[in-house]
Amino acid sequence: MRPPRTPAARRVMDLWAAGDRVGRLHTTARWWSAPFAELELEVPLAGDILEIGCGHGVFSTYLAITSTARRVLGVDIDADKIALAARVIEGLEPGEGHVRFETLPSGTVPRIDGGWCAIVFADVLYLLGRERREALLADCVDALAPGGLLVIKEVDTRPLLKAKLAQFQELIATKVLRITDGHTLEFSSSEELVAVLADLGLSTMAKRIDHGYVHPHCVVLGTRPSRSADLGN
């Protein structure tokens, strides 16, 4: 559990403090429990960044504020969360960060000329089930620029006790409180995610980012080959 310590983190929390009570509580709880500061360090500092399943938009906004050279698009299937995110970022000062939000149907990966510099998932893929997850990741790889990065933050399946606690909380969030939309609950280990990305032709790496947190947070990174590597040069 970590409080928002940096000026950028505190600014993001202040923006949401002006939003509605439920959104505010949810985003504060999210910041304390998810390693957003550690995850931000894995995302390129400049270029077009897509976050799929951005929820209330806290991490997308944090990415935009921590580097104004990033242009961030956050998308989610939940129109209410996106409406709140869009309202909250109206509080940004001009030039404080480039971020926008869109509601999109499940499985949609928006395309841009030249491809995305990075596509980010933070605690989303476990909600999709294996087939949808693998199809979506294949689309993401297509939508990345050559040399672009896929950044996947999930809760690992080890150590078992920490993983079971996280899985129980997700069960409550999706099936009882219904604060998270998703097709299913299917948790993958970081090794399984690495294998999926490697099968898609990415060079991969996995890291734990759970120091000081209750849940076994991990990040899996996959880099699309640059054009010269595509051509075998």
Ligand X SMILES: C[S@@+](CC[C@H](N)C(=O)[O-])C[C@H]1O[C@@H](n2cnc3c(N)ncnc32)[C@H](O)[C@@H]1O
List contacts with ligand X (CB under 6 A): 30, 34, 52-55, 58-59, 76-78, 81, 106, 122-124, 127-128, 180-182
Least separation in angstroms between residue 42's CB and ligand X is 14
Q: How many CB atoms lie within 10 A of CB 167?
A: 15
CA 179 → CA 41, 65, 79, 91, 155, distances in Å? 28, 26, 13, 24, 18
Rounding to the nearest 10 degrees, give the CA dihedral for residues 166, 85, 39, 122: 40
The amino acid at 184:
T
Q: What are phi and psi of 23, to 5 degrees?
A: -60, -40
Least separation in angstroms between residue 67's CB and ligand X is 18
Least separation in angstroms between residue 27's CB and ligand X is 8
Structure tokens at 36: 């957003």
Nearer Cβ to ligand X (52/143): 52
- The whole-angstrom distance between residue 210's C-alpha and the CA centroid of its chain comes to 16
Alpha-carbon span 158 to 27, nearest angstrom: 26
Contact 173, 232 (CB under 8 A): no
CA 8 → CA 40, 84, 231, distances in Å? 11, 19, 41
Nearer Cβ to ligand X (138/229): 138
Least separation in angstroms between residue 207's CB and ligand X is 17
Dmax over CA atoms of the chain, in Å, equals 55
Residue at shortest CB range from ligand X: 55
Least separation in angstroms between residue 178's CB and ligand X is 11
Nearer Cβ to ligand X (120/145): 120
Nearer Cβ to ligand X (142/230): 142
Nearer Cβ to ligand X (168/233): 168
Structure tokens at 116: 């995305």
Least separation in angstroms between residue 90's CB and ligand X is 20
Nearer Cβ to ligand X (146/167): 167
